[in-house]
Amino acid sequence: MHEFELIERIIARLRDTACGDGVVLGPGDDAAVLEIPNGHQLVVSTDALVAGRHYPGGACADAIGYRSLAVATSDLAAMGATPAFATVSLTAEDLTANWAEHYASGLAAAARDFGIAIVGGNIARGPESVTVTVHGHTPRGQAIARSGGGPGDALFVTGCLGGAGLALADENLGEWSLIALKEDSPVRRYWMPQPRLGLGIGLRDFATAAIDISDGLSSDLDHLCRASGVGCEVDLDALPLYPGATALDALASGDDYELAFAAPPDAQGVIETLARQHRVPITRIATLRRDPRPGVAWTRNGMPVEVRPGYRHF
């Protein structure tokens, strides 16, 4: 089957997710034509997932499809952006129609869940990988950066940590299709992470800094502190953990796709309201402080603890 027949089959599987608000011209042309609301700024992020490194080689295509869009969309949640569009590039040595259609089905399921239109992409021959670029928007000047945290701000984490990390120990991780995933199981958290989009939008009015927890809290929280020029001390016992996960493993395992964010202490009431509205627990874990050497000090019962860094790409 040649390239253009594959593209037609992919578009057919995308169905309603190939169009939507702001899509003037979608898949099938040389480029997409898009609109965002007046007074808004475009927020763009790209993630590349390589078989055998970012997901198990030979994994079910529909699960790869869902995961690839979800992990990219989590960056929009961290910025407080409303998701809108995505483009997708597929590379494989032998891209079959069956694999492409199942991938597109999983991608479309995620697109419906997150309110995203798939507006274009590319296919090419090469080592198996998926690259997704997501586009969202925020009212002008309201995107949440990593760099705005200040001394005295409270530090929070959404959800619980370590669930997807437990899935990495499952020797059958690559054999799960979407339909077989059990609600809130570790493997479901791995293949179907849920970006905190509604929470991120709600944080725009008061959060001073935010980051999504993709590589592991030990690394990602350090990125936030260094970008903001502050430090903090986090007791391991303050961390919200998925049942069965240990704090040390959860810090480094990654793939949680929760949010870590800073906010003024007097925002506690608003944060509790957001947590109830979105049915997601939000836990205060530390307070940012002035520090000549920005970063995170990890402790337990007041004693320093050495933790492993999160996922490293190189």
104 and 223 inside one domain: no
Lowest-pLDDT range, 7-11, 100-104, 185-189, 217-221? 7-11
Q: In this structure, is residue 309 part of a structural domain?
A: no
- Of 139, 171, 188, which residue sits at a domain end? 139
Q: Is the pLDDT of residue 295 over 70?
A: yes
Residues 298 and 162 in one domain: yes
Q: How many whole angstroms separate alpha carbon 26 and alpha carbon 30?
A: 10
- State whether 93 and 197 are in the same domain: no
Domain at 31, CATH number = 3.30.1330.10
Cα–Cα distance, 44 to 106 (Å, whole number): 22
Reference 163, options 254, 34, 266, 65; nearest CA is 254
- For 235-262, the pLDDT digits (tens) are 999 999 999 999 999 999 889 999 999 9
d(CA 274, CA 77): 14
Residues 234, 214: Cα–Cα separation, whole Å? 19
* Domain residue limits at 242: 154-304
In this structure, are 14 and 115 located in the same domain? yes
Q: How far is CA 160 from CA 51, 206, 208, in A?
A: 27, 22, 21
Instruction: Band the pLDDT of 1: cuts 50, 70, 90.
Output: low
What's the token pair of residue 190? 């791995």
- Give the tens place of pLDDT for each residue, 17-71: 999 999 999 998 999 999 999 999 999 999 999 998 899 999 999 999 999 999 9
CA distance 144 to 138: 9
> Is residue 146, in this structure, part of any structural domain at all?
no
pTM for the model stands at 0.95
Residue 313 lies in a domain: no
Q: Based on the structure, what is the number of domains in the chain?
A: 2
